[in-house]
Structure 1
Amino acid sequence: MSAQTTDQAESGAEDGRGAASAAAAAASKAARKREQHGWYFYDFACSVYSTSVLTVFLGPYLTAVAKAAADADGYVHPLGIPVRAGSYFAYSVSASVILAVLIMPLAGAIADRSGRKKPLLAAAAYTGAAATTGMFLLGGDRYLLGGLLLIVANASLSVSMVLYNAYLPQISTPDERDTVSSRGWAFGYTSGAFVLVLNLVLFQGHDSFGLSEGAAVRICLASAGLWWGAFTIIPLRRLRDRAVVREAGPTVSGWKQLIATLKDMRRYPLTLSFLLAYLIYNDGVQTVISQASIYGSEELELEQSTLIVAVLLVQILAVAGALGMGRLAALYGAKRTILGSLAAWGLTLAAGYFLPARTPVWFFALASMIGLVLGGSQALSRSLFSHLVPAGKEAEYFSAYEMSDRGLSWVGPLVFGITYQVTGSYRDAIISLVVFFALGFVLLARVPVRRAVEAAGNPVPERI
């Protein structure tokens, strides 16, 4: 064979290998995109529960059911314990947090050790969806059933989010992660807003549909469960489990697993530093979300319909906020963008302190500001943390992250309540929350995220 023929053969082989490599890369990207699109739809499925059930309908309705079952002194007696009917919903939420705290670390450890996140995600999702659908039965004085269903649904949502979030570093490259996380939040806010509009049409026009107000509420509650279950099918069809990349070990109780995870995090002090900063500023975020309606009704003297419209406005604008801040992160990095959002949170609370009473337009302006920073700050925090998680420990570490998100956000409400008790002013209570964003800003600014990513053994994206 001549030298020219040999060169041509080698060149053809190289071209063949190059074409095969390009084809493999294209196939890998297509598979990754398919999983990402499926992943978005779990947020689309479960966010309706957070919006319609927890934020709008269940609290007032379950409280009314408890009051219908109360004795002459206004108390109900679950398990023989006297509980003021007006506090029953809050205590049920607290009980769900305690249950979630026990289960989340255990579920994360089992997922990492077995490599089978999807069956666990399915179990948690459909348990929560079934409990939510069962809320259709909350008529008359069935407050015990209502509390039980709330505890099961809330805890199931928390467990499912641990498993859902743990997929993020597996289905996206480091440079894609901010965008993918932001799109997931945007999908969730989109579905929350859409279903809330449908629910409000039914609720406001229940007479024209031949329904009582209570029946309309129960349909709204159950519809969230049906929505959750129906759209969970999409991620379960598209997500896939990975082989375990660490040695299997025995599973332990929830608390012991959480302690073991935190001890393991001591090997990654920069990851732990970020988690501490997130715990503090996210406590402020969650408190604003939970207490804004009280501030609006008690201090600003606004009607319930105004507050519901404000919730809807937050949902709609959070979509734009999540996508917009995702683009900013691509330009300036996730850390800088989160720091900017924390500054915006502080300014929003300062503006809220000066809002005049009985002026819905200004409250809508405040809701708009919250919506624009809410989705982005949450989405980018999730994606930034995913860079700091060692491979093979995604679910375990995200259980600690989810604990910060859902299980430990109690200091903010306590500060809010104590401030109001001491001063008698909700304005002073709302401005007291600025400290969470200021302290979180300082702690996050001190975290060298590039070194943190390297220390976790992960590739460092171009902008972080």
Structure 2
Amino acid sequence: MSEHQAVAQPTRILTKQVLAWASWDWGSAAINAVMTTFVFTVYLTSSYFGSPAETSAALGAALAVAGVAVALLAPITGLRSDAGGRRRFWLGVNTVLVALTTAACFFVFPEPRFLLLGVCLIALASVFAEFATVNYNAMLPQISTPATIGKVSGFGWGMGYLGGIVALSIVLFTLVTPLFDWAGANEHNALNLRLVAVFSALWFMGFGLPVLFTVPELAATAKSARIGFVAAYRVLGRRVAALYRTDRHTVYFLLSSAVFRDGLAAVFTFGGVIAAGTFGFTLQQVIIFAIVGNVVAAIGAMVGGVLDDRTGPKSVIVGSLIGLLVAGTGVFLSPGTTGFWIFGLMLCLFVGPAQSSSRAYLARLAPESQEGELFGLYATTGRAVSFLAPAMFAWAIVLATPMAGDGAQRYGILGILVVLAGGLLLLLPVRPPRHG
């Protein structure tokens, strides 16, 4: 009996292992939504630490270095965890490291001299989170079957979005705009915003533990259990070359998904910035939109998972990318906040299934006991072009500034749409994987 068969449940979706696995997604929402998207990075780029240009540049530079580290190391860590039978172990190690670096952000006081500490901690947390995600995603074939992999992936993404809803709500109503007076809501020395880091670390650690006790560890492969770090690069190079010779469509998918996933990431990365800068949202309004958007994204991810198992992941991704292009155009053309709410929520609806089915697509292609390696390449190719959407966003604004002046930020939306359209065009000729 294979590893997949040993732990998969062919008829039930919500097994104990699936629930424990999805709990990690729920917990990681505190890092993705609260720390890096809507709250703590907004604090880091505020006037507490200097001018917006200086703080944003520092944050961008730190994250760029983190991206290079992930691009170089993610496939190797995936390969070694697969070969050594330590996938669960390294998921646990990196989960703890994310929690520790996140908690350390409590010591980022609102003074310019603490900016370097803040951006370095966020960058480190993002590196460890990416390494953890490689092993986490690689577990997907372990806890599902070919007939349920789309639903399970969609359920995980949906749980992540729902976790973001709850985490953002707690942060909003206890720390940002508290419903009741308590010591932690004190704004002196930005105590309330620094406590966001402690909350996020505890949230992630607490909900990240169940998978470590529920999903079994892999068995080490006899020939590669003690593969060295340098040797791992040679093995990886040979396998990528063999993959290109035997299944070029997997390589093509990695390349196309890298482009459209960068566009998907930009939807969230710049969504709050556009809401505030172009449509005049306050921080509280941005968080409220994020909460509602996560509800819609969770619904989209779960519905997309069902469609994935029925029609295959490629059709779901293609349909979602088309929906994103329509919704993004709607946001660009919207004159006011009502239009942003309507089309912005449409964007959220299609982001979920595109992300979920992209993971399910690759999981269907991954050879048994090589899932971590392939998801490491997935992370690397994504990081390799992670500059694309931010660059197109900025370039579109620069080009539009002589014509639009202060309203040029709106044109950054077009830059993101170009990246999504490019990913869609690259994906269309790729052969879909077998499903069911």
For this structure pair, what is the TM-score category when the shorter chain's length is used for normalisation? 0.7 to 0.9
Matched, 1:265 2:265: no
1:52-451 correspondence runs (5 A): 52-64=34-46, 67=49, 84-141=54-111, 142-202=114-174, 203-205=176-178, 208-210=181-183, 211-213=185-187, 214-245=190-221, 247-248=223-224, 250-253=227-230, 259=237, 262-267=240-245, 268-356=247-335, 359-406=336-383, 408-424=385-401, 425-450=408-433
Q: C-alpha offsets along residues 343-394 of structure 1, whole Å, 9 cap, x if unaligned?
A: 10110111111111xx322222122112211111100110011111222211
CA 1:182–1:204: 2 relative to 1, 3 Å: same
Shift of 1:37: 1.9
Q: C-alpha offsets along residues 120-142 of structure 1, whole Å, 9 cap, x if unaligned?
A: 11100000011111222222432
Contact 1:65–1:143, Cα closer than 8 Å, also in 2:
no
Contact 1:133–1:221, Cα closer than 8 Å, also in 2:
yes
**Quick one: which amino acid aligns to residue 227 of structure 2?**
P
Shift of 1:219: 1.3
Contact 1:109–1:251, Cα closer than 8 Å, also in 2:
no
**Quick one: which amino acid aligns to residue 331 of structure 1?**
R
Shift of 1:301: 3.0
Shift of 1:118: 0.9
Q: Unpaired segments of 5 or more residues in structure 2?
A: 1-5, 402-407
Shift of 1:189: 0.7
CA 1:410–1:264: 2 relative to 1, 3 Å: farther
- Could you tell me how far apart the structure 1 residues matched to 2:16 and 2:360 are? 19
CA 1:143–1:261: 2 relative to 1, 3 Å: farther
- TM-score (structure 2 length as normaliser): 0.88
Contact 2:78–2:135, Cα closer than 8 Å, also in 1:
yes
- Could you tell me how far apart the structure 1 residues matched to 2:387 and 2:179 are? 36
- Could you tell me how far apart the structure 1 residues matched to 2:36 and 2:75 are? 23
Contact 1:277–1:443, Cα closer than 8 Å, also in 2:
yes
Q: C-alpha offsets along residues 270-309 of structure 1, whole Å, 9 cap, x if unaligned?
A: 1011112211211211122212222222233333332222
Match of 1:461 in 2: 435
Contact 2:309–2:435, Cα closer than 8 Å, also in 1:
no
Shift of 1:97: 1.7
Report the secondary structure of 2:348's partner residue.
helix
Shift of 1:264: 3.9
Q: Of 39, 48, 70, which aligns to 2:21?
A: 39
**Quick one: which amino acid aligns to residue 332 of structure 1?**
T
Q: C-alpha offsets along residues 303-329 of structure 1, whole Å, 9 cap, x if unaligned?
A: 333222221121111111111111222
Identity, in percent, stands at: 23
CA 1:146–1:25: 2 relative to 1, 3 Å: closer
Identify which of structures 1 and 2 has the higher relative contact order when contacts are C-alpha pairs closer than 8 Å and 6+ apart.
2
Report the secondary structure of 2:63's partner residue.
helix
CA 1:226–1:402: 2 relative to 1, 3 Å: same
Shift of 1:406: 4.5
CA 1:282–1:27: 2 relative to 1, 3 Å: closer
**Quick one: which amino acid aligns to residue 447 of structure 1?**
V
Shift of 1:195: 0.9
CA 1:434–1:261: 2 relative to 1, 3 Å: farther
Q: C-alpha offsets along residues 230-283 of structure 1, whole Å, 9 cap, x if unaligned?
A: 112100010111224573173335876765554343132010111122112112
CA 1:330–1:396: 2 relative to 1, 3 Å: closer
Contact 1:39–1:184, Cα closer than 8 Å, also in 2:
yes
Q: C-alpha offsets along residues 397-430 of structure 1, whole Å, 9 cap, x if unaligned?
A: 1011122345532111111111211221233331
Match of 2:3 in 1: none
Contact 2:9–2:15, Cα closer than 8 Å, also in 1:
no
Q: Unpaired segments of 5 or more residues in structure 1?
A: 1-23, 76-82, 451-459
- Could you tell me how far apart the structure 2 residues matched to 1:448 and 1:408 are? 22
**Quick one: which amino acid aligns to residue 266 of structure 1?**
Y
CA 1:94–1:62: 2 relative to 1, 3 Å: same
Contact 2:104–2:121, Cα closer than 8 Å, also in 1:
yes
Q: C-alpha offsets along residues 73-107 of structure 1, whole Å, 9 cap, x if unaligned?
A: x69xxxxxxx9344222222222222322331221
Match of 2:405 in 1: none
- Could you tell me how far apart the structure 2 residues matched to 1:261 and 1:126 are? 31
CA 1:299–1:26: 2 relative to 1, 3 Å: closer
Q: Name the stretch that deviates more: 280-289 or 247-256.
A: 247-256
**Quick one: which amino acid aligns to residue 217 of structure 1?**
L
| Corresponding residue pairs, total | 416
Shift of 1:164: 0.3
RMSD, aligned CA: 2.7
CA 1:30–1:324: 2 relative to 1, 3 Å: closer
Is the radius of gyration larger for structure 1 or structure 2? Answer: 1
Report the secondary structure of 1:432's partner residue.
helix
- Could you tell me how far apart the structure 2 residues matched to 1:444 and 1:364 are? 29
